[in-house]
Structure 1
Amino acid sequence: MRARRVIAAASVAALGVLSLAACGRSAPDVAAYVGDTTYSVDRVDEIYADVQAQYGDVVRQQASQAGATPSPEQLRSTVTRQDVVDLLVSLDLGKRVVAAKNLQVPDEITPQQLEQNLRVPATTEYAKLWGEWVDLLQVLNQQLPPADLSDESLMAVYGALTKAGAIDAGMSVADVRRAFGDGGFVRTATALGAALGEEAGRVDVSVNPRFRAVGVPSLVSTGQSVVFYSLPYINEDGPVTDISTPEPVPSTGSPSAEGPAPDQGTAS
Structure 2
Amino acid sequence: MRARRVIAAASVAALGVLSLAACERSAPDVAAYVGDTTYSLDRVDGIYDEAQAKYGDVVRQAAGQTGATPSPEQLRSPVTRQDVVNLLVSLELGKRVAKAKNIQVPDEVSPQQLEQSLRVPATTEYTKLWGEWVDLLQAFNQQLPPAEVSDESVMAVYQALAKVGAIPGGLPVTEVRQRFGEGAFVGSATALSVVLEDEADRADVSINPRYREVGVPSLVSSGQSVIFYSLPYINEEGPVTDISTPDASPSSPNPDTEGTAS
TM-score (norm 2): 0.90
Report if aligned partners of 1:115, 1:122 keep a CA contact under 8 Å in 2.
Answer: yes
Structure 1, unpaired ranges of 5+: 262-268
Change (3 A) 1:68 1:110: same
- Any idea what SS the aligned residue of 2:219 has? strand
Report if aligned partners of 1:197, 1:234 keep a CA contact under 8 Å in 2.
Answer: no
Report if aligned partners of 1:30, 1:208 keep a CA contact under 8 Å in 2.
Answer: yes
Report if aligned partners of 1:6, 1:156 keep a CA contact under 8 Å in 2.
Answer: no
Question: Aligned partners of 1:252, 1:74: CA distance in 2, in Å?
Answer: 25
Q: Which moved more, 1:93-102 or 1:185-194?
A: 185-194
- The aligned residue for residue 233 of structure 1 is 233
Question: Aligned partners of 1:251, 1:102: CA distance in 2, in Å?
Answer: 43
What is the percentage of aligned positions where both structures have the same residue? 74
- Any idea what SS the aligned residue of 1:242 has? coil
Deviations 1:141-181 (A, max 9, x none): 11112111111100000000001110011100000000000
Change (3 A) 1:258 1:17: closer
1:52 is aligned to 2:47: no
Change (3 A) 1:16 1:81: closer
- Any idea what SS the aligned residue of 1:213 has? coil
Question: Aligned partners of 1:236, 1:105: CA distance in 2, in Å?
Answer: 31
Q: Which moved more, 1:235-244 or 1:183-192?
A: 235-244
Question: Aligned partners of 2:58, 2:19: CA distance in 1, in Å?
Answer: 39
1:168 is aligned to 2:168: yes
1:123 is aligned to 2:131: no
Change (3 A) 1:243 1:125: farther
Match of 2:257 among 247, 255, 258: 255
Q: Shift of residue 15 of structure 1?
A: 7.8
Change (3 A) 1:72 1:251: farther
Question: Aligned partners of 2:96, 2:15: CA distance in 1, in Å?
Answer: 16
Change (3 A) 1:8 1:145: farther
- The aligned residue for residue 75 of structure 1 is 75
Q: Shift of residue 239 of structure 1?
A: 3.8
Report if aligned partners of 1:217, 1:230 keep a CA contact under 8 Å in 2.
Answer: yes
Change (3 A) 1:86 1:62: same
Report if aligned partners of 2:35, 2:204 keep a CA contact under 8 Å in 1.
Answer: yes
Change (3 A) 1:120 1:92: same
Question: Aligned partners of 1:71, 1:250: CA distance in 2, in Å?
Answer: 29
TM-score (norm 1): 0.88
- Any idea what SS the aligned residue of 1:146 has? coil
Structure 2, unpaired ranges of 5+: none
Question: Aligned partners of 1:85, 1:182: CA distance in 2, in Å?
Answer: 31
What amino acid is the match of 1:169?
G
Change (3 A) 1:7 1:186: farther
User: CA RMSD for the aligned pairs?
Assistant: 2.3
What amino acid is the match of 1:72?
P
Q: Which moved more, 1:16-25 or 1:200-209?
A: 16-25
What amino acid is the match of 1:191?
A
Question: Aligned partners of 2:119, 2:168: CA distance in 1, in Å?
Answer: 22
Question: Aligned partners of 1:74, 1:31: CA distance in 2, in Å?
Answer: 28
Question: Aligned partners of 2:96, 2:251: CA distance in 1, in Å?
Answer: 37
Report if aligned partners of 1:120, 1:127 keep a CA contact under 8 Å in 2.
Answer: yes
Q: Shift of residue 190 of structure 1?
A: 1.2
- The aligned residue for residue 42 of structure 2 is 42
Question: Aligned partners of 1:185, 1:7: CA distance in 2, in Å?
Answer: 18
What amino acid is the match of 2:185?
F
Report if aligned partners of 2:11, 2:153 keep a CA contact under 8 Å in 1.
Answer: no
Q: Shift of residue 8 of structure 1?
A: 4.1
What amino acid is the match of 1:255?
T
Q: Shift of residue 16 of structure 1?
A: 6.1
Residues paired across the two proteins, number: 254
Q: Shift of residue 26 of structure 1?
A: 1.1
Question: Aligned partners of 1:34, 1:249: CA distance in 2, in Å?
Answer: 43
- Any idea what SS the aligned residue of 1:218 has? strand
